[in-house]
Structure 1
Amino acid sequence: MDHLDHFRILRRTWQLGPVSLCNRSIEDKVQRGKKSSIDEYDCMKWLDSKEPNSVIYVCFGSIAIFSAAQLHETALALEASGQQFIWVVRGCTDRESNDHEWFPKDFETRIEGKGLIIRGWAPQVLILDRRLTGGFVTHCGWNSTMGGISAGLPMVTWPFFAEQFFNEIFATQILKTGVAVGAKQRREAASVSPVVKREAIEKAVRQIMVGEKAKEIRN
């Protein structure tokens, strides 16, 4: 007996969602969430220059902020994966740190044309629904999880706290459309967690983007 059957026994039940599917026009998708930190035209122009399913979108919601060490590892992992990417960077827990301290040397030069870094807020629904986008690295917040599922995208799951670990189980074990990066420690808030190493991130990204497992998940 699944959860819906259980609730039907207890009370009358109406199933709603995923509500993200109601946003069908470009204007609707752009207006979801906060105002984007990048012009949506420039973002879509960059994305539309790529092949279908070739870009991985990396975003960890509006609360989770990485340490400089984790940002550094993530940057190296994305580069090593060989995949094109859009990476949304909210900020750094090391308040005095700047890009030049956690970016690998010459990183932005090396990824020019292959990676797009958005500092702040991105038009996420628009990016996820674009056929050029082929995967999603997510913190497993419910809105992001449903957005990725609704867009039919394989996901790298990287939960931080609250219900995100349950959402990861839903994506990886029930729907089987996600690959876990290996984050195990639940936090009380969006604080610093043990650093996930670049090898684990690279491996998970490759699993959802290339090879037989990626095809299986996408199907």
Structure 2
Amino acid sequence: MEIDRKTKPSIEDVRRIIEKDGAKGWNLAKEALLKQETDNPRLKEALAYLTLIPDYFRPAIVAYCCEAVGGDPEITVPTGASLVLLAKAIGIHDDIIDNVKRRGKHITAYGKFGKEVALILSDILLFKGFTLMKKSLEIGVPPETLGKILETIDQVWFEQSESEILEHQFRRKTDVLPEDCITKLRKRASEMEAITRIGAILGKASEKEIEALAVYGRSIGLA
């Protein structure tokens, strides 16, 4: 996480730093998918497809927030990996609901494999995401800390769902109020708040520090 403070880092510098610091979490998430044994070639292909776009961002941010409050960033690796898988599951749900078959140059899992396989993939991601949480216990995260993390994930999952419902309700409407749009955006930003909050929790932060990083995360999510 070293930055030359004499010069302003470029976007590419930041990208490299995040890739380096999020690599362990991403690699653990990737391994959970690629090492899954299956006799079904189609499912094997689909699981591999999910790993084509790496996610270093979530593991890196949770590590930074942990370190910011004096914690050991290494303790965040399993949780960072879990957050990657859970986010990919949410992403598949969104693509199916919004009928998104391509994002930029990349064909979505829904676009490539169809709704049925995509739904199965999202189920796999959910279960593997939560199963990976147990690795946190294996490296010394106290059960009560893991409990707080799961409570945070439960809350963010509900807010993400509320956001999706609002988006569905707003479709083809011309009388949606600006404050309603802001409410939807704030709920969508709950994921980033969860990431920063979880990092602080893993770093054994005070309640004041946890809430400060949570507010920071929500603000980033709105940016």
Q: TM-score, normalised by structure 2?
A: 0.29
Q: Which has the higher helix share?
A: 2
